[in-house]
Amino acid sequence: MAVNENLRTPIVSVMGHVDHGKTTLLDMIRGSAVAEGEAGAITQHIGATEVPIENIVTKCGDPSLKDRFIVPGLLFIDTPGHHAFTSLRSRGGALADLAIVIVDINEGFMPQTIESLHILKRFKTPFVVVANKIDRIHGWNPNKNSSFLASYNKQSERVKTDLDNKFYDIVGELYNLGFNSERFDRVGDFQRNIGVIPISAVTGEGISDVLMILLGLAQKFLEGSLHYTAKSPGIGTVLEVKEEKGLGTTIDTILYDGTIKKGDIIVVGSLGDPIQTKIRALLKPRPLSEIKAEEKFQQVAEVTAAVGVKISAPNLEGALAGAPVRVVSPETIDAITAEVKSEIADVQIDTDSVGVTIKADTIGSLEALVNELRKEEIPIRKAHVGDVSNRDIVEVSAIEDPFYSVIIGFNVKVLPDAKEKLQTTSEVTLFRNDVIYRLIDDYKDWAKKQKE
Ligand code: GDP
Ligand code: MG
């Protein structure tokens, strides 16, 4: 078996608590692959890094591996900010095909780690857990870029025991969260067990193991879902909406199917009617070697999935992180516009029934929050993307049932006039947090106290 031309690059997201090492891990994957790969170049995308299969097999030290894998490489998403993973969605599913959950082995699980696991479980996304910062274990003797086992076997018995203890704390925590896991080299069936890989993103120990396990997961779980048609109209997701000097509002987009070209007409999801616009420029980052150049970006004529690309076009101000981007033709524009509109409408909820009111920062986080609340059987009156507004307060203050005169806000601000209103409106209770399950726990604790 060798690389299959019809399979696109799997999209990998790196999730985890702030400071546990996401950025360092990506830098290491990027850096070491650049340093060691002769064949195949690392491509820096907008919001993502592509590591071709050649670089991965070189890194793993066994060129024959190339024949065992069918994917052309891995596309790692550089999640902007620690919450953007909730905008990594596609049509009510996960945008990422695979994920790495990173946890500091010395600190264990934190709220964002747990949240990542909840979301992966819901989307049934295959993932590995990496237990990072093993070089911080007292007495650890680093072996730069070595595989985990090679380095582990060279450590003293005391250090090994120390690592094992910390490691099994993580396995125990995973068990409590409903996942069976084992050290990656002991996992026989990745369908039943999550592989946990001890690594150091600083010394590079275990990185080759991470890449190998990801390729293995892609092989085992994704073969059926990575087929694509290169020349079909592009389909992607907005990762971030960004102002750029000289360009105005642009959308950083992960394209997961088909092709997108300069001059194409696209439909982009927004809070009102979907945006219909014509692509002025497709932009990729300049190679590092040309960093002196005036412009940060270089134009490309077209790109094919899976890629990260910046789209410059008129009227993108209302574009929504997590919303779809679709290339259309005169024949398809009406139907696809309607589809995009209903996709956003499916996530936002408007009812007259009793329930809580939800505000969230992106369409993806709103969807995640709605799903978690439904799981808890907490009724929802209204769920919208956006900051908490004066109108929200007024509406909610009119609700008679105190359990539901509640606003639950995820990663949103309270607008100034709403803040004032809130101070004089004692009947409205506002919950805000940037961790979804914390919000739900806070609400449930509060509701319980109210009942007592
Ligand atoms: P992020 O917030 O998850 O992106 O975390 P960063 O990658 O920014 O890492 C946070 C801090 O931990 C930085 O100071 C890193 O240098 C450090 N760090 C990350 N990985 C390791 C590791 O494997 N070993 C050690 N000793 N420090 C690490
Ligand atoms: Mg970071």
DSSP secondary structure string, 100-146?
A: EEEEETTT---HHHHHHHHHHHHHT--EEEEEE-GGGSTT----TT-
Pocket of ligand 1 contains residue 22 by CB under 6 Å: yes
**Residue bearing the CA closest to ligand 1, atom 25:** 133
Identify the pLDDT of residue 36: 46
- Residue 389 corresponds to which tokens in the numbers above? 């507004």
Residue nearest to atom 18 of ligand 1 (CA): 21
Ligand index nearest the alpha carbon of residue 80? 2
Which of 92-96, 349-353, 364-368, 405-409 is most confident?
405-409
Mean pLDDT of 249-257: 93
Which amino acid is present at 20?
H
Residue 201 Cα to ligand 1 middle (Å): 7
pLDDT at 412 over 70: yes
Least-confidence region, from 11-15, 54-58, 265-269, 369-373: 54-58
- Does 104 contact ligand 1 (Cβ within 6 A)? no
Highest mean pLDDT among 126-130, 217-221, 243-247: 126-130
Q: How high is the pLDDT of residue 297?
A: 86
78 CB under 6 A from ligand 1? no
189 token code pair: 């069936």
Q: Which residues lie below 8 Å from residue 154, measured CB to CB, with a gap of 6+?
A: 141, 143
This complex has an ipTM of 0.99
CA 14 / ligand 1 centre spacing (Å): 13
What would you report as the CA-atom Rg of the chain, rounded to the nearest whole angstrom? Answer: 23
Q: How far is the CA of 446 from the centre of ligand 2 (A)?
A: 33
135 within ligand 1 shell (Cβ under 6 A): yes
* AA letter at 284: K
Tell me, what's the pLDDT at 250?
A: 96
277 CB burial (10 A radius; 0-12, 13-18, 19+) = middle
- Tell me the pairing of strands 98-104 and 11-16: parallel
**Confidence class for position 440, pLDDT limits 50, 70, 90:** very high
CA 80 vs CA 47, 48, 280, 283, 436: distances in Å: 7, 10, 24, 18, 18
Query: Mean per-residue pLDDT for 434-445?
Result: 90
- Residue 374's alpha-carbon distances to 112, 179, 377, in angstroms, are 20, 22, 5
Ligand 1 atom closest to residue 17's alpha carbon, by position in its atom list: 3
pTM: 0.86
User: pLDDT-based confidence at 3, cuts 50/70/90?
Assistant: low
Helix (H) or strand (E) run with residue 152 in it: helix 148-152
pLDDT value, residue 380: 95
Q: Which residues contact 119 (CB under 8 A, 6 or more apart)?
A: 15, 85, 86, 94, 368
The C-alpha angle with vertex 85 and arms to 197 and 379, in degrees rounded to 5, equals 115
**In which band, very low, low, confident or very high, does the pLDDT at 8 lie, cut at 50, 70 and 90?**
confident
Look at residue 377 and tell me whether its pLDDT is greater than 80.
yes
CA of 388 to the centre of ligand 2 (A): 28
Residue-wise pLDDT for 293-333, tens only, equals 556 788 999 999 999 999 999 999 999 988 999 999 999 99
Q: Which of 40-44, 99-103, 225-229, 389-393 has the lowest mean pLDDT?
A: 40-44
In the structure, ligand 2 is a single-atom ion and the residues with CB under 5 Å from it are: 22-23
With a 6 Å cutoff on the Cβ, whether 201 touches ligand 1 is yes
d(CA 335, ligand 1 centre) in Å: 46
pLDDT tens figures, 22-48 = 888 988 887 754 444 433 455 667 778
% of the chain with per-residue pLDDT over 70: 90
Exposure b/e, 292-320, CB count within 10 A at least 16 = b? eeeeebeeeeebbbbbbbbbbbeebebbb
Task: Give the residue, out of 15, 19, 82, 210, with the most ligand 1 atoms within 8 A of its beta carbon, to mutate for a pocket test.
Answer: 19
Q: Nearest 10 degrees: CA dihedral of 436, 437, 443, 446?
A: -140
Could you read off the pLDDT of 56-89 as tens digits, one per residue?
777 777 667 667 777 888 999 866 554 556 667 7
pLDDT of 51 > 50? The answer is yes
Does 429 have pLDDT greater than 80? yes
Taking the centre of ligand 2 as the mean of its atom positions, its distance from the CA of residue 396, in whole angstroms, is 37
Q: What average pLDDT does this structure show over 233-243?
A: 92
How far, in Å, from the CA of 113 to the mean position of ligand 2? 14
Instruction: List pLDDT tens digits, range 267-298.
Output: 999 988 999 999 999 998 766 544 455 567 88
Cα atoms in the Cβ-side hemisphere of radius 13 Å centred on 223: 9
Q: What average pLDDT does the segment 381-402 reach?
A: 93
Is it the case that residue 188 has pLDDT exceeding 80?
Answer: yes
Give φ, ψ of 3 to 5 degrees: -55, 130
Give yes or no for residue 202 CB within 6 A of ligand 1: yes
